[in-house]
């Protein structure tokens, strides 16, 4: 099947579907200038996740971990949604896509206009004091000197899920309810290696949904869970799907 044929099939499935959703990962924000975690130029090439991405590492060495967080915030706070975020938002606006479950913490889906976004790994928008639990918004924080401190003297931690921390309960529940309910799942820009997020396509498939995967390279889902794998940049493929869908539906 050529990419064109695959896109035509996906558009047909979109038209037929009653409840389509998407699962997104770091790959979709690469075209907004935010590095992914795995693969060439991935963040975990530069920073060992056992030293920078676990909750134990944060508690043990918050100054060191905040060095990486500061670098990431400097990139993400300037980043803008790209054609993938925009196409997914438009599919929702058209009534076709019912929700996006994202592993990303960069808020670019919301910036693009998506309304129903489940942030499976939390958000970088807010921070919590590890001592008193006070909440802050990122705009209130001066990132020149890190780590940032709460008024009470405690260190602030972004509300993103570190390894060893639970998935926010409301996001976990909603994501798995949606996976069981959907009849079409678009899996875009995730290596599908981190659980429980990587179970979402499996649950959707088991519940009878069609699974479409868009990625630069095959993943553990390819040829096992995915009904169609489209190899390429999400920022090129998603707008093609949207355009073909709109042409056929308008």
CB of 103 to ligand OAD, least distance (A): 4
Residue 98's contacts (CB-CB under 8 Å, 6 or more residues apart) are 19, 20, 21, 92, 116, 178, 182
Shortest Cβ 39–ligand OAD spacing (Å)? 5
Cα-trace Rg, the chain? 18
Phi, psi for residue 77 in degrees, rounded to 5: -70, -20
By the 8 A CB rule, do 194 and 31 touch? no
Q: Which residues are bridge partners to 185 per DSSP? A: 21, 211
Least distance (Å) between residue 18 CB and ligand OAD: 26
Q: Within 13 Å of residue 35, how many CA atoms lie on the same side as its CB?
A: 17
> Strands 135-137 and 122-129, how do they pair?
antiparallel
Nearer to ligand OAD, 18 or 223 (CB): 223
For ligand OAD, give the closer residue by CB, 17 or 102.
Answer: 102
Residue 21 beta carbon to ligand OAD: minimum distance, rounded to whole angstroms: 16
For ligand OAD, the closer of residues 27 and 124 by Cβ is 27
Q: Are 4 and 236 in contact (CB under 8 A)?
A: no
* Catalytic entry in 85, 109, 121, 170: 121
Q: How far apart are CA 84 and CA 109, in angstroms?
A: 9
**Interface residue list for ligand OAD (CB under 6 A):** 25-27, 30-31, 36-39, 42, 53, 103, 121, 161, 163, 189-191, 193-194, 214-217, 219, 233-235
**Residue (149 or 228) nearer to ligand OAD, CB:** 228
Is 121 a residue of the active site?
Answer: yes
Cβ nearer to ligand OAD, comparing 27 with 201: 27
183: nearest Cα among 210, 201, 221, 206: 210
Task: Spell 32-67 as b/e; 16+ CB within 10 A means b.
Answer: bebbbbbbeeebeeebeeeebbbbebbeeebeebbe
Report, in Å, the least distance between residue 125 CB and ligand OAD: 15
Active site residues: 121
């Amino acid at each position: 099947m050529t990419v064109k044929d695959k896109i035509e099939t996906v558009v047909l499935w979109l038209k037929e579907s009653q409840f389509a959703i998407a699962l997104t990962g770091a790959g979709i924000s690469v075209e907004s200038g935010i590095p992914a975690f795995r693969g060439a130029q991935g963040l975990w090439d530069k920073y060992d996740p056992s030293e920078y991405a676990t909750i134990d590492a944060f508690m043990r060495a918050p100054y060191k971990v905040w060095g990486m967080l500061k670098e990431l915030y400097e990139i993400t706070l300037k980043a803008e949604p790209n054609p993938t975020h925009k196409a997914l938002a438009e599919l929702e606006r058209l009534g076709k896509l019912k929700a996006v479950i994202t592993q990303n913490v960069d808020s670019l889906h919301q910036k693009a206009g998506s309304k129903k976004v489940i942030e499976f790994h939390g958000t970088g928008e807010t921070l919590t004091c590890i001592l008193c639990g006070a909440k802050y918004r990122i705009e209130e924080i001066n990132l020149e000197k890190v780590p940032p401190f709460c008024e009470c003297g405690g260190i602030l931690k972004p509300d993103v899920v570190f390894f060893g921390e639970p998935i926010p309960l409301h996001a976990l529940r909603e994501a798995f309810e949606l996976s069981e309910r959907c009849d079409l799942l678009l899996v875009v820009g995730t290596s599908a290696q981190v659980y429980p997020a990587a179970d979402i396509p499996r649950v959707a498939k088991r519940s009878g949904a069609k699974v479409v995967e868009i990625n630069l390279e095959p993943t553990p889902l390819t040829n096992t869970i995915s009904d169609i794998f489209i190899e390429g940049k999400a920022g090129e493929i998603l707008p093609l799907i949207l355009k073909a869908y709109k042409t056929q539906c308008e």
